[in-house]
Amino acid sequence: MSNTNVRYKKQEEIRGKDEALPCEEAVAKVKEMAGVKSNRSYKNGRTRKDNAQTVDLVMNLGIDPKQADQMLRGSISLPKGIGKTNRVIAFCDGDLIEAAKKAGATEAGADELVDKVSKGWLDFDVAVAHPSMMGQVGKLGRVLGPQGKMPTPKAGTVTPNVAKAVAEYVAGKLEFRNDAGGNVHMAVGKTDFSVEDLKENIDAAINHMLKLKPSAAKGTYMKNVVISGTRTPGVKIQLNT
């Protein structure tokens, strides 16, 4: 049996039955599964180091993604952060360029930055734009759209206060949008976070999405919630009814 299969088998034993658990228990199981070490080695004989994994939250929502009035997109700053900083670029000009860089932007500019991205450069996590730049940035839709990196007012990434938005996203502010299956995916921390901190982030994310329920959505809205590590099976979370 391969090392990957051995680890997966151990993780499945830890997870147990595929049933929804209280949030604290679900988080504890993901942390325990993430702690199952890999014996995989590199070609030079060194054993691979298993670093802290990202904890992902998937919320399956009772929405019709084909209906514009039921599509969800926005941003959120989680109370305990997500354990990483985002690489942020800013489309702006004049004095705003220096302000954006001081706020933490890895790149900031106008025509030259638009041209660079148009040629396929995507080495960043979030793009922020001043409203005056959207005439040019809008032409990047085919490049940024499929990557989920197109600036939008709903996510707070099209704003006159470029420096403030840059600082928030560098600090870990998240963008989210539903996929074609009505799911919203969100990183909520790392497996080396405490159970309490992960639970606080998860609760904040779920409550935020509940507040965004479209008026046109019918039936059960928050249908299913699952958390997992980068290299662990998912665990369902019990929802308060």
Q: Using H for helix, E for strand and C for coil, what is the string for the chain? A: CCHHHHHHHHHHHHHCCCCCECHHHHHHHHHHHHCCCCCCECCCCCECCCCCCEEEEEEEECCCCCCHHHCCEEEECCCCCCCCCCCEEEECCCHHHHHHHHCCCCEEECHHHHHHHHCCCCCCCEEEECHHHHHHHHHHHHHHHHHCCCCCHHHCCECCCHHHHHHHHHCCCEEEEECCCCEEEEEEEECCCCHHHHHHHHHHHHHHHHHCCCCCCCCCCEEEEEEEECCCCCEEECCCC
Question: Which phi and psi angles does 50 have, rounded to 5°?
Answer: -90, 105
pLDDT digit of tens for each residue in the chain (241 aa)? 566 678 778 887 888 788 999 999 999 999 999 988 765 544 554 444 568 999 999 999 999 999 999 999 999 999 999 998 899 999 999 999 999 999 999 999 999 999 999 999 999 999 999 999 999 999 999 999 999 899 999 889 999 999 999 999 998 899 899 999 999 999 999 999 999 999 999 999 999 999 999 999 999 999 999 999 999 999 999 997 5
- Residue 1 has a pLDDT of 52
Q: Any idea which residue has 């793009």 for tokens?
A: 127
- 88-171 is classed in which CATH architecture? 3-Layer(aba) Sandwich (3.40)
- Residue 88 has a pLDDT of 98
CATH 3.30.190.20, the chain: domain bounds: 17-37+50-82+175-236
Query: Cβ(9)–Cβ(219) under 8 Å?
Result: no
Round to whole Å and give the CA distance between 24 and 184. Answer: 21
- Residue 18 has a pLDDT of 82
- Residue 48 has a pLDDT of 46
- Residue 42 has a pLDDT of 46
- Residue 37 has a pLDDT of 76
Q: Summarize pLDDT for 34-47 with one digit per residue, the tens.
A: 988 765 544 554 44
Question: Which phi and psi angles does 119 have, rounded to 5°?
Answer: -90, 5
CATH 3.40.50.790, the chain: domain bounds: 88-171
- 17-37+50-82+175-236 is classed in which CATH architecture? 2-Layer Sandwich (3.30)
- Residue 217 has a pLDDT of 94
Q: Summarize pLDDT for 106-133 with one digit per residue, the tens.
A: 999 999 999 999 999 999 999 999 999 9
Q: Summarize pLDDT for 8-19 with one digit per residue, the tens.
A: 788 878 887 889
